[in-house]
Chains A and B, each alone.
Chain A
Amino acid sequence: EPEVTQTPSHQVTQMGQEVILRCVPISNHLYFYWYRQILGQKVEFLVSFYNNEISEKSEIFDDQFSVERPDGSNFTLKIRSTKLEDSAMYFCASSPLRLPYYNEQFFGPGTRLTVL
């Protein structure tokens, strides 16, 4: 069964460093998403991506964040200069059509980012 994969499973970085979180969405999916979940809090939408451009982003997704689909299979989230409050679980998701016109949004297992 196809699945969304994410690497690494855990990333530890120093404050101020750049990190790149990687995701491989399901191959025939067209819409891609990043979410984050700070420990003990709700899952928060960051950004959606379609046709090689951002289609929607939340207020969390400021200039420190960027997304890219560099090679047709990977979907990356870059945080330019990490802050302590960026520590969270980051989930990538993909769907074949734009929600909510298609029910399922397939999530990856997440990358736990720890900023020291």
Chain B
Amino acid sequence: DQQVKQNSPSLSVQEGRISILNCDYTNSMFDYFLWYKKYPAEGPTFLISISSIKDKNEDGRFTVFLNKSAKHLSLHIVPSQPGDSAVYFCAASAQGNQFYFGTGTSLTVIP
């Protein structure tokens, strides 16, 4: 029962280019979405969020896009930097209840 899916386990991008990480969900009741970043041997850290009333949220180099009709969200990182290399998780919640995480995408930014 995987309500949140990240179908790309890994992604490699050249420094300075755009990184696009994708996430799909199945539960139409989800109304809040977050992206977390995780370095090895550390816990996840919050990156950016979006509620279902919006279709875009931007914070510096990070932008999250939400397409509710497709049940799809994406995280864009522009420009990508080597320090962005980490595992990125998307997570979703319905009305403040438990968060469901995806399996993560490992991003490698090549200098």
Q: Give chain A's interface secondary structure class.
A: loop
Given A41-B103, A103-B34: A48 touches B44 (CB 8 Å cut-off): no
Contact flag A42-B46 (CB < 8 Å), given A99-B93, A100-B96, A103-B34? no
**A104 interface hit (Cβ, 8 Å):** yes
Query: Is B29 part of the contact surface with A, judged by Cβ < 8 Å?
Result: no
A99, B99: Cβ atoms closer than 8 Å: yes
* Complex interface: chain A residues within 8 A of B2 (CB): 42
Chain B CB within 8 A of A108 CB: yes
What's the nearest-Cβ distance from chain B to residue A52, in Å? 19
Residues of B in contact with A (beta carbons under 8 Å apart): 2, 4, 31-32, 34, 36, 41-46, 49, 51, 89, 91, 93, 96-104
Q: Hey, which chain B residues are within 8 Å of A35, CB to CB?
A: 101
Q: What residues of chain A lie closer than 8 Å to B4, measured between beta carbons?
A: 42
> Which residues on B sit within 8 Å (CB–CB) of A106?
46
17 A-B pairs (CB sep. < 8 Å):
A4-B43, A41-B103, A42-B101, A43-B44, A43-B91, A43-B104, A44-B101, A45-B101, A91-B44, A99-B32, A99-B99, A103-B34, A103-B49, A105-B99, A107-B36, A107-B45, A109-B43
Distance (whole angstroms) from the CB of A88 to the closest CB of chain B: 13
Given contacts A42-B104, A43-B89, contact A56 B44 (CB under 8 A): no
- On whether the beta carbons of A56 and B42 are closer than 8 Å, the reply is no
Identify which of A42, A48, A106 gathers the most chain B CB atoms within 10 Å of its CB.
A42
